[in-house]
Structure 1
Amino acid sequence: MKTVSIINLKGGVAKTLTTISMTHILSEKHGKRVLVVDNDKQGNTSKTFGIHSYDRKSIADLMLDRNANLGEIIQHTRYPRIDAIQANMSLLTANMQVMMDSSRPQQTRLRAALRKVSSQYDYCLIDNAPDINISIINALVASDEVIIPVKIDPYAFDGLRELKEQIDVTREELNPDLHLLGCLITCFQHIDGERQGEEWLRKNLNCPVFTTHIRYSGKVVESAFEGLPIAEYSKRSGAAHDYSDFVSEYLQSERG
């Protein structure tokens, strides 16, 4: 199972959209078995896949209980090859409790849990909150790869250096196999400033940038209200086509 963290310390850059789109396309177009992990207390990925609830166990239970029953935490979705671990506001409290618990390692709990089901899936995608907390560090420790969605605007690069440093520290101290795949430009509108921003990423952050850009589309907002992946809600939209191309580029990079 290849585990990929989708992360940026800035909100509104399409982290959740990217996670949902990749999950859906890997499963529906490429026939992959995917486990999607919602690691954001807002639970938006959980809501899209129809599993958000305060009555069922979540990633918070996985973080707190060494002997958590993954059969109770992992939920089937309406898509036959997609399973999910939900998140809700209980993750906020769980993060604090994990930090106060010195009885066992704090940073490796998610990795230990995911290893138990690694033979059941081809991919695990983790949607992370715009933060650095113990559950985010757990996600990086559990991951093989990191993708950073970036929306090019005047504040686009806030926190990117800090995030890259955290990825480097995690690789050096906790997970030597962690690899930053690159930045994915989202909400793209073909203006000169966006091209300049992309060049800044390459030169100043020394970060690879995916060739595929995700165009801005009003259909994305509509799909969120409908609780559907963009490729299912509007197959002809620019964003749907771009995410399909991006997943193909991602798979090609793995083969290359």
Structure 2
Amino acid sequence: MAAKTKVICFANNKGGSGKSTTCSNVGYGLTQLGRKVLLIDGDMQLNLSLSLFDEDTVLRFAQGDKNLYEGIRRQDDLKDYIVHTAYENLDLIPSSTLMSSIEYELFTKWQREYILKKGIAGIVDSGEYDYILIDAPPTLGGWVMNILCASNEVIIPVEASPWGLFGLGNMFEFLDQVKQIAPDLGLGGIVITKVDTRKNYFRQTLESLKELDDVKVFDTYIRVDSGVEWSQDNNVPVMAYKKSSRSAKEYMELTKEIDSAK
């Protein structure tokens, strides 16, 4: 009997929340726990792809015919769009800058909310991966609805800043709408990112989130760390770049929290 594949998306309609960084590092961290992981870059900004491959390679993926945009446009089985990364048990379906027009592509399709779910159905059913992690763009619309409908749960990274909670209410309202057609979608939790414990923003953010009913806030939070920026500059997850860094240790603890809930 094949193992059950868990599909988790990282979403927030506010940009700069650390979605791509969290997705890539949790993905890498899960492989360190012995899991096999597929990452899906659902954002035209290509940041998830850039966290694993150099810019020239990412652009080659984006301009070719083996990226997520082409797979969705053709409504193909997305297993044919998987590329292997330099890391054992960590694979990727890369994105394309053409994802900016994905809403138009979806508009013309029948049962458009489920195209991504159908595209990964064969991968999920095979049980080849323990996890599929999807990086969603910072928008609310048909494409993000596709991502949510394809997922078992959503994790929302929230930046500890004055505007970090801005728009979170809209995100929750959107999730309620999605649950009308995907009632099994769960909220995995909220992870607080870009934390500077010397500032009041973190305490204010944490207190505001703790007041929300039936919303899990992960115990692990991710502090501001130059190691993250250096790892991004070198196109590698921070845990692979500098395992001893503070952020690498925090992402590993977050990964363990997420994995323990499977």
Report the TM range for the smaller structure's normalisation: over 0.9
What does residue 63 of structure 1 align with? 72
Alignment of 1:121-132 (within 5 A): 121-132=129-140
CA shift, 1:47, in A, is: 1.9
The answer to whether residue 215 in structure 2 is matched with residue 212 in structure 1 is no
Select which of 99, 107, 113 maps to 1:91.
99
What SS is found at the alignment partner of 2:135?
A: strand
CA shift, 1:75, in A, is: 1.3
Alignment of 1:28-107 (within 5 A): 29-50=32-53, 52=58, 53=61, 54-66=63-75, 68-99=76-107, 101-102=108-109, 104-107=110-113
**Superposition RMSD in Å:** 1.5
For structure 1, which runs of at least 5 residues remain unmatched after alignment?
none
The answer to whether residue 162 in structure 2 is matched with residue 159 in structure 1 is no
Change (3 A) 1:218 1:205: farther
What does residue 191 of structure 2 align with? 184
Change (3 A) 1:59 1:205: farther
CA shift, 1:164, in A, is: 0.9
What does residue 113 of structure 1 align with? 119
What does residue 16 of structure 1 align with? 20
What does residue 142 of structure 1 align with? 150
Aligned-partner Cα distance in 1 for 2:65–2:87: 19
What SS is found at the alignment partner of 1:143?
A: coil
Q: Deviations over 1:159-205 (max 9, x none)?
A: 1111111112111x221111112110111121333112111112157
Task: Tell me the TM-score normalised to structure 1 length.
Answer: 0.92
Change (3 A) 1:249 1:204: closer
Larger displacement relative to structure 2 (243-252 or 203-212): 203-212
Q: Deviations over 1:231-255 (max 9, x none)?
A: 011111110000001111112233x
What SS is found at the alignment partner of 1:96?
A: helix
For structure 2, which runs of at least 5 residues remain unmatched after alignment?
none
Asked whether the 8 Å contact 1:60–1:94 carries over to 2, the reply is yes
CA shift, 1:32, in A, is: 0.8
Aligned-partner Cα distance in 2 for 1:44–1:185: 19
Q: In percent, how many aligned pairs have the same letter? A: 29
Asked whether the 8 Å contact 2:162–2:201 carries over to 1, the reply is no
**Amino acid in the other structure paired with 1:39:** G
Select which of 203, 223, 228 maps to 2:236.
228
Asked whether the 8 Å contact 2:37–2:131 carries over to 1, the reply is yes
The answer to whether residue 249 in structure 2 is matched with residue 250 in structure 1 is no
Change (3 A) 1:71 1:149: closer
What SS is found at the alignment partner of 2:163?
A: coil
